[in-house]
Structure 1
Amino acid sequence: MRHCSRGADLRLLPVSPAPDASRLPTALDGLRVAVEGTRFPLETPNAAAARSGRGELLNQLRDYIIPRANSLDAPLLAVVGGSTGAGKSTLVNSIVGETVTTPGVLRPTTRASTLIHNPADERWFTGHRILPELARLTGESAGAHDPNTLRLVSSASVPAGLALLDAPDIDSVVSANRDLARQLLSAADLWIFVTTATRYADAVPWELLQQAIKRGTSVAVVLDRVPMDVMEEVRADLAEMLARQGLGQSPVFAVAESKLSKSGMLPVSEVTRIRGWLGSLAADALARSIVIRRTLDGALDSLDSRARVLTEAVREQQTIAHELQEAPRTAYTAAHQAVQEGMQDGSLLRGEVLARWQEFVGTGELLRQLEAGVGRMRDRVVSALRGRGRAEPAENLGEALHTGVAALLVSHAETAAITSARAWRATPGGARLVEQHRELATASPDFGARVERAVRDWQSDVMELVRQEAGSRRTTARFLAFGVNGIAVMLMLITFSATAGITGAEVGIAGGSAVLAQRLLEAIFGDQAVRTLSVKARKMLMERADALFSAEQERYTQVLAEVVGDTSVPDRLTPALAAVKAAR
């Protein structure tokens, strides 16, 4: 075996002062809680990356940073990782000198994880100090190939103060294995990266090496199965690549292509230097401490940028959630304004309503003679109606008004629903919500029925207004000529026209209907009372319309709340990170 080992360089690397044994673990646990509290439910541009980053950060906090900060004197954990078929398990067995992990024949070759430790260090690994989510197994258990387990092997061949962990393949075809491999590498004090002469330039390993650089993880590289005739060339090329990536201080070992023994071991000569280097780390408390502290410091240094990414993603979620909240609010506010305009522009006083009004007053000729004198016309209408029952025409007019108002409300509610759904589809994270809740693109199925009830209730309110205003006038000839229903529908009529009170040739047919109705009511109640009644009637109708629209808008609010939750949760990551910095 030819090698280039720089283990001594690790002892010369500067490290920061020892962290506060009491404050730092507490601050780190506070950061863990803050990270756990971050959520990215909306499919915003950075959501997927944020979820992945959150998971990786949580895993490293639980699996490595917090337990290591709590126990700096625990054995150094060296995770052996690499690509499929690189010979990781064979290398581990050869270093230990006995079969402690079984190399696979099928791909992926390493499916689960095996941790080999000295019997004196057993207490550090049987509990859940590190990798708490993995169940512990000992011996040749049936679950030894389950990725959710950690198989513990005690061996006196491993020096005290050191543990080796054979990890699943980093490029496994099984996603769960890949994820576990990355999780285990994040839990390492030292990553022993195993590659081959034919695969050392592959993209996936270098991606993980870049992560190791960013997080300050100590790395050693084993170049396996190197033909002797290209040993120098391959080793030099790998060393140059490592130097370019900032890993020039990392120990590099080259293992020549060799025939395995009957027990599946590499020749002792090929692993002697690796075994000796690991043994020296275990025996030298200072060297071991330097490797541990360097990796811990690197992991702590990486927290700032990683937490900042999560904070920015949380703010992005809050911004998008606010936009999603505002879209239906804007749409239903516009619906409210449109209904209000529709109640004042005279558009409801045409068609069926106009026909029923003419039926109510007895003849369309009355309206055409309106310019001749409203006072004289009012007297003629009252005279014509006195003593005659107007119940049926009043009911027909009331029904026509009811239909018109209901259609106005339904139309604008449908428009608001369509507008809200369109805005959500155009907003990041909103398209999926609309897809999952297709009912949001239209008004509620029972909205029409609720509108019908609301308009009828409003008409009842108007009649009650008339009764209260009439008081002692109920026995007058003018009041009796129209009755409560007739007066109520005339009040509704003037409620729907902003032209009420205007006279002259410029008033159209619809406006003229409202003018005549107003003059008839003024003959009963007086000018001021009619103005007050019409304002009250319009206000009561708009209040009912607001209640209907608010209920429709609430559908969007509820869907968003179910997905996003409380968007007003304060930023807990920033103060938690500041506490970690202060504790260091």
Structure 2
Amino acid sequence: MISRDDAMSMLGAVTTLRDQVADATLPLDIPGVATGRATRDSLLKQLDDYVIPRLRSLDAPLLAVVGGSTGAGKSTLVNSIVDSQVSRSGVLRPTTTTPVLVHHPKDERWFLDDRILPGLSRVTGAASEGDGDGSLRLVASSSLPPGMALLDAPDIDSVVSANRALAGQLLAAADLWLFVTTAARYADAVPWDLLRQASERGTAVAIVLDRVPPEAMADIRSHLASMLRDQGLSTAPIFGIPEATLTSEGRLPEADVARLRSWLSALASDARARAVIVKQTLDGALGSLEERTVSLVGSSRQQVTAVTALHATAEQSYREALTNVEQGMTDGTLLRGEVLARWQEYVGTGEFFRQVESTISKVRDRITAAIKGTPPPAGDLGEALQSGVAALIESQGQGAAATVVRQWRQLPGGDPVLADHPGMAKASPEFSGAVERLVRDWQGELLDMVRSEGKDRRTTARIAAYGLNGIGVILMLVVFAHTGGLLAGAEVGIAGGTAVLAQKVLEAIFGDQAVREMAIRARKRLLERVSELYAAEQARYDGVLDGVDIREDRAERLADAAAAVKAVR
């Protein structure tokens, strides 16, 4: 017997577990998620349909669910037990689509509300075609003794999947399974799958062996009893019903159901016997929670692992893109091609580069002459540098987006997420404009840096001689060739000393230490800006994943709730 105090303690722990199971959603479509979702659904249904209602109402009538295979005669059996047409029977399959719960009139209050099977609406009166899915028909019958209700369930192997699912749900809500099979089908696989579940969960079971040729009754009963023992159901009583012609009302002969009706009536009238069955099934249900909860905890952790891997892939892709931008800024790539051509135009003819080792005064004179109008203005060189930097940043950003999508398609859960969010294979539509603004704003910072360094009168005069924009462009050249130390023409090897020349001009104006610090600060600011831009792009992918309702603490809270249930059992 279960005391009320024990029931209340278990109820609190089980209700907490139920809340955690409901919260343990598995939204990410990863391998094995279907099994996890099925486990979660079965847990919720058993907790809602049986465990919690039974703990709240230990003295409620015993619920015996009549289940079995297609054509086993379940509805005919129920009608015969109560000696009334309460459940539709016939040759068309499936006959029972809306489950029928038969109870004594005095027990009606236990079933009118949603104490059990809260997901099914209640209907009363005569059966109709409009009952619909999700209904539970209540039928009061004085032929059934108080203290027990019979529930005629759909076929466990129905051709209609919804019927099969409902049959399983109803059986999980039962105190007692009244399992109906036939002489021809008692060894079928589907019934035994469910009977094994009943054995594993400690559910009380009684077997009705229907339509048995009288001459084969002993042999078939013996064989069935042996199979039940093998599955741990040796205590399950077997009620044999011989093959016979139905009465004019479509019921079994009275003599054939008398033993089963007598057994049910005795069980209904014996509170202690009912309590024993309730305790057996309730203990079994509570015991089965642990293994299934452990399975659900594992499924929940797999969700966290999968979404963490997707997050990490996005982060890694943009981190590598930033690294590639940094490398592209310092490996001399930006000082070739269009930039080199504009630089040559800017400082004069190629003969000028042969004089790189001349004194800085000669360098300054040639630069000054260039600024004053002979070669093209510094703006052309600046635009070439700006375009080169923007192209580097954009290409790496677009590449990171493509990399994220490619790798997500190879990771668990990635493909379904991408299917729900098309367009993630490219950077955001605003990305190109953001890159251009970034480079322009950074150039503005460089000019502010030059102004700040040229505050004294002498330096200001030198800057004026070359032009602020010209000095800013030359500083960009140094930034994109500076490798952590002062430049060496042989080390960098950029087009006959282009970067060396640029650095010497700046050193003549600001001094070597100032040039070094300016280049480092300028590069750092550009990388910081690019990092912020890439972070915003990465946030698109993080936002998609944040929309998948997965939290790391769910699995731990679920495990703790299961442990609490185990502790109070």
The TM-score bracket by the shorter chain reads over 0.9
* Separation in structure 2 between the aligned mates of residue 196 and residue 229 of structure 1, nearest angstrom: 15
Counterpart of 1:435 in structure 2: which amino acid? A
Query: Do structure 1's residue 424 and structure 2's residue 424 form an aligned pair?
Result: no
The residue type equivalent to 1:282 in the other structure is A
Aligned to 1:547: 532
Aligned CA distance change for structure 1 residues 40 and 391 (closer, same or farther; 3 Å):
farther
* Alignment correspondent of 1:3: none
What is the one-letter code of the residue matched to 1:135?
Answer: S
1:186 maps to what in 2? 172
Match among 563, 567, 571 for residue 548 of structure 2: 563
Counterpart of 2:532, as a letter, is A
1:384 maps to 2:362: no
1:97-134 deviation digits (Å, cap 9, x = unpaired): 11111114422121011100111111111111111111
1:391 offset after TM fit, Å? 9.5
Q: Deviations over 1:405-464 (max 9, x none)?
A: 111111111221222122211211112112332322222233122111111111122122
Q: Deviations over 1:145-170 (max 9, x none)?
A: 42311111111100111100001111
The whole-number CA distance in structure 1 between the counterparts of 2:195 and 2:228 is: 9
Amino acid at match of 1:530: V
Amino acid aligned to 1:246: G
Deviation, 1:379, is 3.7
Indicate how the Cα distance of structure 1 residues 198 and 57 shifts in structure 2: closer, same or farther if over 3 A, else same. same
Q: d(CA) in 2 for partners of 1:245 and 1:177?
A: 26
| Structure 2 Cα separation of the partners of residues 36 and 487 of structure 1 | 66
Gap change, CA 1:476 and 1:322, over 3 Å in 2: closer
The 3-state SS of whatever aligns with 2:6 is coil
The answer to whether the 8 Å contact 1:346/1:511 transfers is: no
**Partner of residue 260, structure 1:** 246
Cα distance in 1 for residues equivalent to 2:355 and 2:20: 78
Q: Please name the residue that 1:62 is paired with.
A: 48
Work out the CA distance in 2 between the residues paired with 1:539 and 1:450.
19
Q: Show the counterpart of 2:449.
A: 465
> Is residue 50–residue 116 contact of structure 2 (8 Å, CA) maintained in 1?
yes
TM-aligned CA distance change 1:311 to 1:423, over 3 Å: same
Q: CA deviation at 1:480?
A: 2.7
* Aligned partner of 2:482 among 498, 506, 514: 498
In the alignment, the residues of structure 2 paired with residue 451 and residue 56 of structure 1 have an alpha-carbon distance, to the nearest angstrom, of 52
Q: Aligned residue for 1:235? A: 221
The 3-state SS of whatever aligns with 2:547 is helix
> What secondary structure is seen at the aligned counterpart in 1 of 2:454?
helix
How far has the Cα of 1:380 moved from its partner? 4.2
Q: Are the counterparts in 2 of residues 328 and 556 from structure 1 also a CA contact under 8 Å?
A: yes
Counterpart position of 2:429: 445
TM-score by length of 2: 0.95
Mind listing any 5+ residue stretches in structure 2 that lack a counterpart?
A: none
Range with bigger deviation, 187-196 or 475-484:
475-484
CA distance in 2, matches of 1:19, 1:182: 31
Matched, 1:411 2:392: no
Give the whole-Å Cα distance in 2 for the aligned partners of 1:271 and 1:147: 31
Residues 87-96 or 68-77, more deviating? 68-77
**d(CA) in 1 for partners of 2:265, 2:51:** 24
Q: Could you say which residue in structure 1 is the equivalent of 2:186?
A: 200
Note if contact 2:24-2:554 (Cα within 8 Å) is conserved in structure 1.
no
Kindly indicate whether residue 264 of structure 2 is the aligned counterpart of residue 248 of structure 1: no
Q: 1:569 to 1:474 in 2, by over 3 A?
A: farther
Partner of 1:509, secondary structure, is: coil
SS class of match (1:261)? coil
- Residues 286-335 of structure 1, C-alpha deviations (whole Å, 9 max, x = no match): 21111111000100111111111111111111111111110111111111
Q: Note the C-alpha offset of 1:21.
A: 3.3
With 112-121 and 503-512 compared, the bigger mean Cα shift is at: 503-512
CA contact (8 A) 1:321 1:564 kept: no
State whether residues 194 and 222 of structure 1, in contact with CA within 8 Å, keep that contact through their aligned partners in structure 2.
yes
1:230-268 Cα deviation digits (max 9, x unpaired): 323322222222111111211111211111111110111
Alignment check: 8 A CA contact 1:382 1:481 kept: no
Any gaps of 5 or more consecutive residues in structure 1? Answer: 1-14
* Alpha-carbon distance in 2 for matches of 1:242, 1:341: 73
1:496 is displaced (CA, Å) by 0.4
**CA apart distance, 1:390:** 7.5
Q: How far apart, in 1, do the equivalents of 2:172 and 2:417 lie?
A: 35
- Is the counterpart of residue 281 in structure 1 residue 255 in structure 2? no
Displacement of 1:546:
0.7
Which residue of the other structure, out of 558, 562, 567, is the alignment partner of 1:573?
Answer: 558
Question: RMSD of the alignment, in Å?
Answer: 2.1
Relative distance call for 1:155 and 1:488 in structure 2 (3 A) is same
Q: In the alignment, residue 459 of structure 1 is paired with which amino acid?
A: Q
Deviations along 1:8-48, whole A, 9 cap, x unmatched? xxxxxxx7777613222122111111111101111223311
Q: Deviations over 1:146-204 (max 9, x none)?
A: 23111111111001111000011111122221111111000000001111122222222
* 1:432–1:525 Cα change, 3 Å: same
Give the corresponding residue for 2:466.
482
Structure 2 equivalent of residue 113 of structure 1: 99
User: What TM-score does the superposition give when structure 1 sets the normalisation length?
Assistant: 0.93
Could you say if the C-alpha distance between residues 570 and 116 of structure 1 is closer, same or farther in structure 2, counting changes exceeding 3 Å? closer
Residue of 483, 505, 508 corresponding to 1:523: 508
Kindly indicate whether the alpha-carbon contact (under 8 Å) linking 1:19 and 1:583 is maintained by their aligned counterparts in 2: no
Q: Partners in 1 of 2:459 and 2:241 — Cα distance?
A: 115
- Aligned amino acid, residue 410 of structure 1: E
Query: Counterparts of 1:71 and 1:185 in 2: how far apart (Å)?
Result: 19
**Corresponding position: 1:296 with 2:291:** no
Deviation at 1:507, TM superposition (A): 4.6
Give the corresponding residue for 1:309.
295
Q: Secondary structure at the match of 2:7?
A: coil
Instruction: Give percent identity, aligned residues only.
Output: 54
Comparing 509-518 with 45-54, greater Cα deviation is found at 509-518
Give the corresponding residue for 1:328: 314
| 1:366 alignment partner in structure 2 | 352
Q: Which residue of 2 aligns with 1:84?
A: 70
Map of 2:438 onto structure 1: 454
Q: State how far apart, in whole Å, the 1-side matches of 2:405 and 2:64 are.
A: 54
Contact 2:209 2:238 in 1 (8 A): yes
How much has 1:59 moved relative to structure 2? 0.6
SS in structure 1 at match of 2:44:
helix
Partner SS for 1:564: coil
Structure 1, 413-422 or 504-513: larger mean CA deviation: 504-513
Partner amino acid, structure 2, of 1:446: E
Q: Which amino acid aligns with 2:390?
A: A
Q: Is the 8 A contact 1:503 1:515 kept in 2?
A: yes
CA shift at 1:567, angstroms? 3.4
Amino acid in structure 2 at the alignment position of 1:298? G
Query: Which amino acid counterpart does residue 151 of structure 1 have in structure 2?
Result: R
| Whole-angstrom distance in 2 between the partners of 1:211 and 1:570 | 25
Aligned partners of 1:294, 1:165: CA distance in 2, in Å? 19
Asked if structure 1 preserves the Cα contact closer than 8 Å seen for 2:104 and 2:143, the reply is yes
Kept in 2: contact 1:374–1:516 (CA 8 A): no
**Residues 471, 222 of structure 1: alpha-carbon distance in 2 compared, 3 angstrom cutoff:** same
